[in-house]
Amino acid sequence: MLPIVIASDHAGYSLKEQVKKYLEGKNIEYVDLGTNSGESVDYPEFAHKLCVEIQEGRAEKGILVCGTGIGMSMVANKHSGIRAACVSDTFSARATRMHNDANVLCFGERVVGAGLASELVEAFLTTEYEGGRHQRRVDLVNSFDK
């Protein structure tokens, strides 16, 4: 099984560190792509690094954290094959896996706390894509990559 990749900017650094503790507690292998402090950085660089890991087959899923999750999701969705969802509730974290086959979870440290972030990660990582009636729409989304 491929590891989860995780990255943040400075505004999401503290929450990313909490998510890493959650992953370690569940024995889920991950690769931290940075940032490694609260010092100001440019979030697009970290979102891009994470997406390349998925595009090149070194990971299947990723987690991006910034202040709101919005900026990271915008950058991630610019990458072919990436279906990133910015969520702040567990229903959406499950639904985006079931219906959209999302492969990147985004959320914001200024929006969700550590407890909810762990619940979002749990829902995202344990929910399977349903396929079936949703596949036509996912194929349509993927067709826009070309």
Averaged over 90-100, what is the pLDDT? 98
Q: Is 51 an annotated catalytic residue?
A: no
Percent over 70 (pLDDT), the chain: 100
Q: Could you say which of 10, 51, 66, 86 is catalytic?
A: 66
What whole-number distance in Å separates Cα of residue 135 and Cα of residue 16? 31
pLDDT of residue 146: 75
Global pTM exceeds 0.85: yes
What whole-number distance in Å separates Cα of residue 21 and Cα of residue 53? 21
pLDDT of residue 37: 97
pLDDT of residue 61: 98
What whole-number distance in Å separates Cα of residue 55 and Cα of residue 145? 12
User: For residue 15, which of 7, 5, 26 has the smallest C-alpha distance?
Assistant: 7
DSSP state of 114: H
Q: How confident is the model at residue 1 (pLDDT cuts 50, 70, 90)?
A: confident
What whole-number distance in Å separates Cα of residue 123 and Cα of residue 47? 21
Averaged over 109-132, what is the pLDDT? 98
Radius of gyration of the chain (CA): 14
Averaged over 120-142, what is the pLDDT? 96
pLDDT at residue 127 greater than cutoff 90: yes
- Neighbouring residues of 62: CB distance < 8 A, sequence distance ≥ 6: 4, 5, 6, 7, 50, 51, 53, 54, 76, 103, 104, 105
Residue whose structure tokens are 């749990």:
122
**Tens digit of pLDDT for each residue in 12-65?**
999 999 999 999 999 999 999 999 999 999 999 999 999 999 999 999 999 999
Q: Which CATH number fits domain 4-143: 3.30.750.24, 3.40.50.720, 1.10.3720.10, 3.40.1400.10?
A: 3.40.1400.10
pLDDT of residue 84: 98
Q: Is 79 an annotated catalytic residue?
A: no
